[in-house]
Amino acid sequence: MWFLRLNMTDRSYKVEEVPEKYRQLGGRGLTSTLVYDEVDPMCHPLGPNNKLALAPGLLTGTMAPTSSRLSVGAKSPLTGGIKESNAGSSWAPAMAKMRIKAIIVEGQPEDKSYWTVKISLEDGDNGKPKAEFFPADKYVGRDLYEVFPEVYEEFGDKVHLSAIGTAGEFGYGNSGIAFNDMRKEPNRYSGRGGLGAVMGSKGLKLMVLDDKGAPGVEYADKELFKQGAKKMREALTSHAVTKPKGGLNTYGTAILINILNEAGGLPTRNFRDGRFEGAAQIAGEAIFENNKAITGEEIYNHGCSPGCIIQCSNTVYDEDGEEIVSCVEYESDWALGADCGIEDLDTIAELVKLCNAYGLDTIETGVSVGVAMDSGVIPFGDGEGALDLVEQMGKGTPLGRVLGGGAAMVGKAYGNPRIPAVKGQAMPAYEPRAVKGIGVTYATTPMGADHTAGYTIAPEILNVGGESDPLASEEAKADLSRAFQDTTALIDTVGHCLFIAFAILDIPSGFEGMVDEINGMLGTEMSGDEAVAMGAEILERERDFNLKAGFTKEDDRLPEFMKIEPLPPHNVTADLSDEVMDKVFGK
């Protein structure tokens, strides 16, 4: 196994054997540990001392179902703390099969130039990776939907792509890193935390991964691994949420629009209400039925990456049957829809496509536009105005640069205290006043407001893995959030999609299968508790980085306006005490 270091100062590279301390880490566990070990917590996120680390999960590239996740880590220009953002793409399993444990991008060019790096394997038996550097001037400042086909034409149609859009070039806190989807389009993102800006600060426009001749992954105990993968597959294909033609495969993640709306937890018009009158028009059910009416057939969803058996990625078509974009996730649908008061699906899909083209995080974009609407820049519900604002972000106009800085910057620019963010990162699609456990996660995760860091929505809204009253203001929410944060750090480390959580929470053999997969891969004998403890250790490491970067317990708080503004329809506030928030990490 190899570490591949790319030095962008002099366009050189170094191949290292993986040190023993990192051999049983992957994904988030590896990226966060590398950032912890090698990045000064006080460095400027866009300066030469930050590093960008990419790592496939421990199980990525194997037969484990739905395990093609890649973690990207750095110090975040949005939060100022540690950040991991992951994506599903063919990139991750290709990298794993090349036995590249991590790619670590260091330094930055003095002349602000942009480069393409092609990563492939040397000829011969040693299988070491190598890197070649090419000027990327012709791709700078352009729509990624135009760029990707040209890159495939230049390097061949069997490679795997990673790139930044203009958002990363402009250094936005709201900039992601694009990866190709299964159709070679720039639709899969490590979106959150401004990591596209970190990549851009390195002068790295594109990475091209050529896995020709890849030897494949190695198993310590392949039979045990196969036994675990079989249990996992059986759990995923039998659970109502994850099975074929189940909830996610049929309606995509946007199935949650109606569910959260009914619960009064769908943030609407910059978190002024918990219900949106246009929810039914933009929900996953509406996407499915509209596609059926337009195409004349039931269109079930597809996978974001190789080996995905949940297959929740939808496609939105216009009235002429032409594809607008794939896909419109729940969080994107909400951020660019309900949070902005927009109830037209075609407009939401166009906004998602613009974000993909420019390399913008759809969540931060939607919340930024929502704060701008709340500040009087354009009215709520103005779809054409929203499209114009996102285009300005992509073009780097003065207003576009303010919006590209994220929701917190927009609120500061317009003197608006109603900023739904924690640690500088915009909240996703779950109202923390109406779903108390997710509020604890937003406040306390080292990542900034992030639902994927500890998805208490499972028991609080979906009654998966037990039941917890979402409106209950109780100390137990601290333990609930911490348990989910620990387990999520483990899932992100092994490389499974977070959505396996539905099955492993309800079906014990599914969780056993994941532990068997890990032991079969590593040659260990971990118990389930020991596996989760690995996630807890990663979380503590991330928190320690943030403490060294200057964070205190006062950063683990929800916005003040949520503590004093009752949220309709339940008229609830963020009333969990500071002591509950502090209890999560026992500090």
Q: Which residues contact 38 (CB under 8 A, 6 or more apart)?
A: 51, 104
502 domain-assigned = yes
CATH number at residue 394: 1.10.569.10
Q: 494 and 425: one domain? A: no
308 domain-assigned = no
CATH number at residue 488: 1.10.599.10
pTM of the model: 0.97
| Gap between the Cα atoms of 433 and 403, Å rounded | 26
538 domain-assigned = yes
- What does the pLDDT read at residue 127? 83
| Gap between the Cα atoms of 83 and 106, Å rounded | 16
Q: 460 and 336: one domain? A: no
- What does the pLDDT read at residue 587? 61
Determine contact, residues 388/177, Cβ cutoff 8 Å. no
Q: 136 and 115: one domain? A: yes
Q: How far is CA 373 from the centre of its chain?
A: 25
Report the domain count for the chain: 3
Mean pLDDT in each 10-residue stretch from start to end of the chain (587 residues)? 97 97 97 98 98 98 97 98 97 97 97 96 80 98 98 97 98 98 96 98 98 95 98 97 95 97 98 98 97 94 94 94 95 98 98 98 98 98 98 98 98 98 98 98 98 97 96 96 97 97 96 98 97 97 98 98 98 97 90
Q: 58 and 204: one domain? A: yes
| Gap between the Cα atoms of 77 and 230, Å rounded | 41
Q: 459 and 399: one domain? A: no
Residue 12: CA atoms inside 13 Å, Cβ hemisphere, count? 3
170 domain-assigned = yes
Give per-residue pLDDT as tens, 163-185: 999 999 999 999 999 999 999 99
- What does the pLDDT read at residue 126? 63
- DSSP string over 205-258: EEEEE--TT------SSHHHHHHHHHHHHHHHTTSTTTSTTSHHHHH-GGGHHH
Q: Which residues contact 401 (CB under 8 A, 6 or more apart)?
A: 170, 172, 393
135 domain-assigned = yes
Widest CA span of the chain, in angstroms?
67
- The three-class DSSP label of residue 584 is coil
305 domain-assigned = no
Picking from 430, 462, 497, the residue at the C-terminal end of a domain is: 430
Q: 535 and 555: one domain? A: yes
Determine contact, residues 163/177, Cβ cutoff 8 Å. yes
Q: 563 and 455: one domain? A: yes
Picking from 430, 458, 491, the residue at the C-terminal end of a domain is: 430
| Gap between the Cα atoms of 321 and 325, Å rounded | 12
- What does the pLDDT read at residue 183? 94
CATH number at residue 202: 3.60.9.10
Give per-residue pLDDT as tens, 20-53: 999 999 999 999 999 999 999 999 999 999 999 9
Q: 106 and 178: one domain? A: yes
Q: 446 and 393: one domain? A: no
Give the closest residue to 483 by CA, choosing from 446, 462, 455, 463: 455
382 domain-assigned = yes
Q: What is the DSSP letter of 78?
A: T
Q: Which helix (H) or strand (E) holds 506?
A: helix 500-506
Q: 87 and 175: one domain? A: yes
Residue 482 identity: R
- Round the CA-based radius of gyration of the chain to a whole number and report it: 22
Picking from 398, 430, 462, the residue at the C-terminal end of a domain is: 430
- What does the pLDDT read at residue 133? 98
Instruction: Name the region of 96 (left: φ>0; alpha: ψ -120 to 50; beta: rest).
Output: alpha
- The three-class DSSP label of residue 434 is coil
Q: 392 and 450: one domain? A: no
Domain holding 578, by residue range, is: 220-244+432-587
- What does the pLDDT read at residue 246? 93
> Within 10 Å of residue 459's Cβ, how many Cβ atoms?
20
| SS (HEC) of 399-421 | HHHHHHCCHHHHHHHCCCCCCCE
- What does the pLDDT read at residue 123? 77
Q: Using the structure block, give the residue that is written with the tokens 């599903």.
A: 88
The full length of the chain comes to 587
307 domain-assigned = no
Q: 12 and 69: one domain? A: yes
CA 492, 362, 66, 254 torsion: positive or negative? positive
Q: What are phi and psi of 338, to 5 degrees?
A: -55, -45
| Gap between the Cα atoms of 339 and 282, Å rounded | 12
- What does the pLDDT read at residue 586? 87
Give the closest residue to 291 by CA, choosing from 346, 243, 246: 346
